[in-house]
Amino acid sequence: MFSRPATETQITHGRRLWLYVLGGLVILFLVLPSLLVIPLSFSDSRYLAFPPPSWSTRWYGAYFGAVEWRDATRTSLVAATLTMVISTVLGTLAAYGLHTAQSRFARAVYATYMLPLIVPGILIAIGIFLLFARLGLNNTMTGIVLAHSVMAVPLVVITVASGLKGYDMNQEMVARSLGASRLWAFLTVTLPQLKISVISAALLAFITSLDEVVISLFIAGGENATLTRRMFNALRDEIDPTIAAISTLLILLSVVLLGLTQLLQRSPR
Amino acid sequence: MTVSTGGSANLGAYRVAERRERWLLQSLVVPGLALIGLIALAPIGWLFWMSVQGSSGFTLDHYQRLLDESYLRTLKTTFELSILVTVLSIALGYPLAYLISQARPRLAALLMLLVLFPVWTSLLVRCYAWLVLLQRRGVVNSWLQDMGIIDAPLKLMHNFTGTTIGMLHIMLPFMILPLYASMRSIDRDYMRAAANLGASPVRAFWQVFVPLSLPGLFAGIIIVFVLCLGFYVTPALLGGGRVYMWSMQIERNVTYYADWGAASALGVVLLALTLGILWAVGRLIGFDRIVGGK
């Protein structure tokens, strides 16, 4: 098979063998490091040698047994859920408004929505830290959710807007000509067809909040320390194997969420 | 409102209703704008103001201090690392994006899933993975020693090498995604035509394929470079305090010295650099092409 042509230009598979090897290595480079953490999390040793000398679930015990980790996990999950709800609503409204109103300012408004993705995270973080210090919102759940929503809304807008691009607005007009109000037409005709984009956007918002590190380092301390903040501080000091257990659980979560979005995209509308 | 007066009044009422609805639709963007404006943008304006405020009113002292040697060294490190990571991500990302764009749809979908997997995996998990792999007695060192390639463990983390590897791992998907998007839209007939006209595969690739993939390449370069400039987490963990990035200087000025003047001046410079690069490239190749390539 190596002598068969591989492309339109008749180059053979054999002559491109090095390219396949390189591509394979790059894929391994991308995927393997995170996956190696999974077997390591079941190691019995503190020193994270691979393969582990003997197996145990002691690091999972250490994670589930420690109050600080449990509290941090709860804070993160609550914050991610609230962020998901707020940013999905705000982002979907904005995407719909931008799509339908055809305002002169649409480009400027869209660009403003994208700013949190463009402005360096550290700058947003110290800005919010400064603001929240005045408002007394540092180390509160309200503060964390507001800050995380700022980071998640742009992603929701992008995702829902791309869904709207593939949607035929005339369907909504038909519903309205049959007597439905704009809101009713949106809720019963448009939204069900945008379901996939909206759910993908919501999952993305959830993950964004759950993974957010830099802002949380500044504004999520004390009782409301997030999981990422605790992990970051733990990693700065030493390479604690408990984090291998947490990482495995987080990888599992991201595989499930990524799989979910892929399934949604494949299922017929 | 009387209906019986006929068309013109009806039309008037319709116009009013239409205007009201447009106004209503436009107002849908307001809540999100308010959130972003108040929480993210207003404080940045405040930082801007603080960067030109001294004990006695307006001053440019904070900016003048940025010319200190220590700050310049940070700036140099930041640029060196960002450029190196961008170049490496092209070197590794371009071949892979090319292969995926040429693969059959099913295989391509699977490979893209593998490229996306790291993006969906927590940033800290990936940093942790590299810390485990690269540490003195870590997986990489012990394998290299077992295979007899090295005698003593290499110093792979808490330095420039480790930071580069970690950042490359984070940035690579952001190079591959726009590259793949633009390569996939290249009509394969162009390559066939080039072959028919007698171009060797290598020549067809360089003279036809590569130029057509440039929008995606530019988009990737900008995304990766700009993200690198402001990157904090990975350099802070894998650099172990020895690799000093611009963003870490900002963090240190706030948390250790509570020096808001210096921190905000550093922040303003970082923002200006970021927006400046985006603006310049946007002017050069059109911003829609960058966003579209994403």
B40 touches chain A (CB under 8 A): yes
Q: B31 and A109: CB-CB below 8 Å?
A: no
Average pLDDT in chain A:
89
**Residue A2, pLDDT score:** 65
Mean pLDDT across B70-93? 94
Q: How close A97 gets to chain B, by Cα (Å)?
A: 5
DSSP 8-state class, residue A3: T
pLDDT at A186 over 50: yes
Amino acid at B97: A
B37, B43, B44, B47 alpha-carbon torsion, rounded to 10°: 160
Provide CATH code, domain B68-290. 1.10.3720.10
Q: Which of A252-266, B206-220, B250-264, B266-280 has the lowest mean pLDDT?
A: A252-266
Amino acid at B129: A
**Residue A268, pLDDT score:** 53
Q: Which residue has the tokens 């295989």?
A: B107
- B169, A33 contact by CB (below 8 A): yes
Buried b (16+ CB within 10 A) or exposed e, A149-158: bbbbbbbbbb
Domain layout of chain B by residue ranges: 1-51, 68-290
Mean pLDDT across B31-39? 95
Find the length of chain A. Answer: 269
Please give the structure tokens belonging to residue B163.
């930071």
Q: Are strands B57-58 and B53-54 parallel, antiparallel or unpaired?
A: antiparallel
DSSP 8-state class, residue A224: G
Mean pLDDT across A104-109? 85
Quote the CA–CA distance of A78 and A87 in Å, as a whole number: 14
Which ipTM score applies to this complex? Answer: 0.87
**Cα-based distances in Å from A102 to A34, A126, A146, B163:** 44, 35, 28, 45
Residue A12's Cβ-count burial label (10 Å; 0-12, 13-18, 19+) is middle
Helix B105-120 × helix B160-184 angle, to 10°: 140
pLDDT at B290 over 60: no
pLDDT at A172 over 60: yes
pLDDT tens digits, one per residue of A240-249 = 889 999 999 9
Q: A232 and B124: CB-CB below 8 Å?
A: yes
CA B121 to chain centre: 17
**Residue B101, pLDDT score:** 92
Q: What percent of chain B has pLDDT over 70?
A: 94
Split at pLDDT 50, 70, 90, the class of B94 is very high
Mean pLDDT across B72-85? 94
Mean pLDDT across A171-191? 88
Q: B201 and A7: CB-CB below 8 Å?
A: yes
- B32, A94 contact by CB (below 8 A): yes
pLDDT at B3 over 70: no
CA A13 to chain centre: 38
Q: A27 and B278: CB-CB below 8 Å?
A: no
**Residues 6+ positions from A62 with CB-CB distance below 8 Å:** A241, A242, A245
Q: B251 and A119: CB-CB below 8 Å?
A: no
Which chain B residues in 49-88 lie under 8 Å from chain A, judged by CB atoms?
none
* B contact test, residue of A13, A20, A28, A30 with most B CBs within 10 A: A30
Mean pLDDT across A131-135? 94
This prediction has a pTM of 0.88
**Residue A95, pLDDT score:** 94
Question: What's the alpha-carbon Rg for chain B, to the nearest Å?
Answer: 26
pLDDT at B148 over 90: no
Quote the CA–CA distance of A32 and A164 in Å, as a whole number: 36
Q: B270 and A231: CB-CB below 8 Å?
A: no
**Cα-based distances in Å from B54 to B60, B256, B259, B265:** 8, 19, 11, 12
pLDDT tens digits, one per residue of A51-80 = 788 888 888 999 999 999 999 999 999 999
Q: How close A71 gets to chain B, by Cα (Å)?
A: 18
- A210, B122 contact by CB (below 8 A): yes
**Residue B158, pLDDT score:** 86
Split at pLDDT 50, 70, 90, the class of A14 is confident
**H/E run at residue B239:** none
Amino acid at B19: R
Buried b (16+ CB within 10 A) or exposed e, A238-256: ebbbbbbbbbbebbebbee
| B158-161 own/partner pairs: CB under 8 Å, 24+ apart | B158/B238, B158/B239, B158/B240, B158/B241, B158/B242, B159/B239, B159/B240, B159/B242, B159/B243, B160/B81, B160/B239, B160/B242, B160/B243
**H/E run at residue B79:** helix B69-102
pLDDT tens digits, one per residue of B189-220 = 888 888 888 888 888 888 889 999 998 999 89
Q: Which residue has the tokens 């007698």?
A: B198
Q: Which residues pair with A43 in a beta bridge?
A: A55
**Residue A168, pLDDT score:** 86
Using left for φ > 0, alpha for ψ between -120 and 50, and beta otherwise, residue B139 falls in alpha
Q: How close B95 gets to chain A, by Cα (Å)?
A: 6
* Nearest-by-Cβ selection for B32 from A8, A101, A113: A113
pLDDT at B293 over 70: no
**Residue A212, pLDDT score:** 94
* Residue A231, number of CB atoms within 10 A of its CB: 26
